[in-house]
Amino acid sequence: MNAYWNPEIETMSRDALTTLQDRRLRTALNHAYTNCKPYRAKMEAAGILPGDINGVEDLWKLPMTHKSDLRDSYPYGMFAVPMGDVVRIHASSGTTGKQTVVGYTAQDIAVWGECMARCLTMAGATKDDIVHVSYGYGLFTGGLGGHIGGETIGAATIPASTGNTKRQLQMFSDFGSTVLLCTPSYAMHLGDAVLEEGIRDQLKLRIGLFGAEPWTEEMRGEIESRLGVRAHDIYGLSEVMGPGVSCDCPERKGLHVMEDHFLVEIVDPHTGKPLPDGVPGELVFTCVTKEALPLIRYNTRDICTIDRSPCACGRNLTRMGKITGRTDDMLIIRGVNVFPSQVESVLLGVAGVAPYYRLVVDRINNLDALEIQVEMTEGLFSDEERRIESTVRRIEKDVLSMLGISAKITLVSHGTIERFEGKAKRVLDRRTP
């Protein structure tokens, strides 16, 4: 079934969409240049005025924006409207440094509701669903972002937030939740709890929208089998808006970007130059309708590919591939680039291994050492030592062939690795910087 929240935009011809983007881009640049000092300074330093940009084809001429620009102007230095027009503040903590503070006007919030409504509809949700939001409510955009989506489509929306897993299960069965929104790592944890409690038959869950952290196709399968949902990938970031920047449709061959609001490019992480479609690189967004916090060529540091070909679902909106990692999360181990998602994909292909793992990186005798700690399923744990030993060998071999480096594999018993209710932290890097 192909349902659209906004068929006019979602199935718009490429030409019509480009015309709309060109017009909106010119307005957005004037707004940023006129009302946001840091942008004016950046453009002037690059010798570019808004009038030099006719449309999307000139995007590459503009200087890029980075997280550090937002941090340097903490908290409100890049806001382009008077504080009286700001109706909401969110912030993202990141792993290092100051928080990044983002603001929204009433119109920005309305756009967020529209984008989230498109995502929920794309995943098959309707007003008759009961939308259970288990992303954290607070400065993190997941909770309120999911919430506005549920309410915009007219569904009964439960602000469950994260935590208290037992209570979440109780709500699933008592309130009849049919759509679940949370991080994939929390979905796994909830799924295991459902199986442990033996309440799978009481659940009405049918759709999941999971995001806020990288997850693999293998993890998608694990979650689906535990919760009995069809799992969709939803992407976003606070700087750009929050969840709802893109989402995968029933075809699940990439995430459709809400391109009438966010222009998307992929650039080379080393040179910053635009890359051809299909080549992996850093994802860059330009927000063309944002009022409170304009964002011009914002480099997300997320790595993926883009595909502008039309999709079998009928949408012409560009698709981004699953995020494989972030350039700043990439580990360099003995000179080799390693993304935790590569390890996840290897581990989940091995029988007897549960989807809970941790990467510990150390420096031993001046050499980088990678240890992968991974949980065994209860079945493997109670199996004979020989089978456990052969599982270790198999993982070692698969890791070596996928990453090109050897790793020490430690199988640990069920429940040993920490569970996460929000974004998972799967890397412990003990090397001194």
Is residue 99 within 8 A of residue 332, CB to CB? The reply is no
Q: How far apart are CA 208 and CA 120, in angstroms?
A: 9
Judged by beta carbon, residue 98 or residue 326, the one nearer ligand DLL is 326
Indicate the residue among 236 and 294 with the shorter CB distance to ligand DLL: 236
For the beta carbon of residue 286, count every other beta carbon within 10 angstroms.
Answer: 27
The helix (run of H) or strand (run of E) holding residue 383 is none
Count of other CB atoms within 10 angstroms of residue 377: 14
Site string for ligand DLL, 183-222 (x = CB under 6 A): ----------------------------xxxx--------
Q: Does 243 bind ligand DLL (CB under 6 A)?
A: yes
Cα torsion through 152, 158, 160, 165, rounded to 10:
-130
Q: Comparing C-alpha atoms, which of 416, 408, 405 is closest to residue 392?
A: 408
> Number of residues in contact with ligand DLL, rule: CB under 6 A?
22
**Contact residue for ligand DLL among 92, 173, 345, 377 (CB under 6 A):** 92
Q: Identify the three-state secondary structure at position 33.
A: helix
Asked if residues 292 and 305 have their Cβ atoms less than 8 Å apart, the reply is: no
As a whole number of angstroms, the distance between CA 235 and CA 211 comes to: 6
Choose which of 114, 233, 265, 291 interacts with ligand DLL (CB under 6 A). 233
The C-alpha atoms of residue 385 and residue 372 are separated, in whole angstroms, by 19
- Interface residue with ligand DLL among 300, 318, 373, 391 (CB under 6 A) is 300
Binding positions for ligand DLL, 370-429, rule CB under 6 A:
none
Strands 230-237 and 281-287: unpaired
Residue 252, phi then psi, degrees to nearest 5: 50, 45
**Candidates 185-193, 217-225, 232-240, 384-392 — which segment interacts with ligand DLL by CB under 6 A?**
232-240
By the rule CB under 6 A, 141 interacts with ligand DLL: yes
Which CB atom, from 212 or from 370, has the smaller least distance to ligand DLL? 212
Considering only 69, 302, 375, 421, the residue that binds ligand DLL (CB under 6 A) is 302
Q: Is there binding between residue 36 and ligand DLL (CB under 6 A)?
A: no
Nearest Cα neighbor of 148 from 164, 131, 128, 123 is 131
CA distance 234 to 255: 7
Candidates 308, 326, 408, 414: give the one binding ligand DLL (CB under 6 A): 326
Q: Which is nearer to ligand DLL, 119 or 411 (CB)?
A: 119
Region of 19-27, 140-148, 149-157, 193-201 interacting with ligand DLL (CB under 6 A) = 140-148
Nearer to ligand DLL, 253 or 326 (CB): 326
Q: Which of 86, 323, 338, 370 binds ligand DLL (CB under 6 A)?
A: 323
Residue 84 Cα to chain centre, angstroms: 31
Q: Which two tokens stand for residue 165?
A: 């897993």
Exactly one of 234, 293, 353, 424 binds ligand DLL (CB under 6 A); that residue is: 234
**Distances from the Cα of 372 to the Cα of 69, 350, 399, 406, 409, angstroms:** 35, 14, 10, 10, 5
Q: Does residue 313 bind ligand DLL (CB under 6 A)? A: no
List the one residue out of 346, 347, 408 whose CA is nearest residue 372. 408
CA dihedral 309, 313, 315, 321 (to 10 degrees): -50
Task: Out of 113, 136, 142, 149, name the contact with ligand DLL by CB under 6 A.
Answer: 142
List the one residue from 236, 294, 340, 355 that touches ligand DLL (CB under 6 A).
236
Which is closer to ligand DLL, CB of 125 or CB of 369?
A: 125
Minimum CB distance to ligand DLL, residue 398 (Å): 23
Nearer to ligand DLL, 237 or 293 (CB): 237
Q: Which stretch binds ligand DLL (CB under 6 A): 4-12, 133-141, 150-158, 196-204?
A: 133-141
Q: Which is nearer to ligand DLL, 184 or 352 (CB)?
A: 184
Chain-centre distance of CA 414, in angstroms?
Answer: 27
Contact between residue 145 and residue 169 where contact means Cβ atoms under 8 Å apart: no
71 binds ligand DLL (CB under 6 A): no
Show the tokens assigned to 179: 């759509």
Binding span for ligand DLL by CB under 6 A among 28-36, 51-59, 62-70, 238-246: 238-246
By beta carbon distance, the residue nearest ligand DLL is: 211
Q: Which amino acid is at 281?
A: G
C-beta of residue 248 within 8 angstroms of C-beta of residue 254: yes
List residues near ligand DLL by CB under 6 A. Answer: 92, 135, 140-142, 145, 211-214, 233-238, 242-243, 300, 302, 323, 326
